[in-house]
Amino acid sequence: MSAKLDQADMYMVLVSTLSSQIQSVLAFHALITANIEHLTNQPMKKSKVSFKFRMKMLGGIVFSYRRFSAELSILALAKVYEDTMVEAEDLGCKRFNIWKGDDLAFKYHHEMRYILALANIVKHSQSRVLDNRQPSNRFLIDACGIAPGSQVEYLGVDIPRYVYRVYWFMMQLVAYLTDIRAERVPTNEGKGVGAFKAFMLPSFLGLRVPRVARR
């Protein structure tokens, strides 16, 4: 990338990249969810293996599928932030520290930190919150109220909602990094999430993004 781009061009480059990544995370989640639903709803074929054993095996596969889907989605959302910061530096944009900057009053700043902290424990703590001095663990325990020993798969992270939150945090951040006036973040998150899903995954794609318990 050339550092000679003006601020508006830098903004468009960063927005284009992060929007594509965000769309991919949402599509990935929808596809995995559809596969899980298909797996759990299809009729069992006749087999010499007992029904109880087959159900036990199916349950184990579905549990692992859901766990890895959640973990990979969290890692992908963290990568949106990390990749954007690398590209912004290459473009010569100003610097930003995710653990500072509260005075900027970005909406969903806390949620972005939450995703980054979760991604860190997925990578380094076997997806378990540990009661130690590691910054990500301390943030999850002290700032998010998560109990030590909690596993990521049991936190009930609403992936589509966090895709939406990460997107809008990143849109504000990119505007700040390039000195461009930020787009207004929707005030009604419920309506905003619905419109966001419809825009990112148009109906003709046939991808349904399910609702889950909100966190």
Host domain of residue 197: 7-202
Asked, for residue 79, whether it belongs to a domain, the answer is: yes
Asked, for residue 51, whether it belongs to a domain, the answer is: yes
Answer for the pair 33, 103: CB distance below 8 angstroms, yes or no. no
Report the number of distinct structural domains present in the chain: 1
Of the candidates 43, 38, 42, the one whose C-alpha atom is nearest the C-alpha of residue 65 is 38
Asked, for residue 94, whether it belongs to a domain, the answer is: yes
Asked, for residue 210, whether it belongs to a domain, the answer is: no
Asked, for residue 1, whether it belongs to a domain, the answer is: no
The CA distance from 183 to 197, in Å, is: 18
Can you read off the two tokens belonging to residue 43? 């009729």
Long-range contacts of 47-56 (CB under 8 A, 24+ apart): none
pLDDT at residue 62, rounded to an integer? 65
Query: Burial, 185: exposed, middle or buried (Cβ in 10 Å; 0-12, 13-18, 19+)?
Result: middle
One digit per residue, the tens of pLDDT, for the chain of length 215 reads 444 678 999 999 999 999 999 999 999 888 887 777 766 766 666 676 676 766 776 666 666 767 888 899 999 999 999 999 999 999 999 999 999 999 999 999 999 999 999 999 999 999 999 999 999 999 999 999 999 999 998 998 999 999 999 999 999 999 999 999 999 999 999 999 989 988 888 766 666 665 544 55
The CA distance from 29 to 107, in Å, is: 24
pTM: 0.86
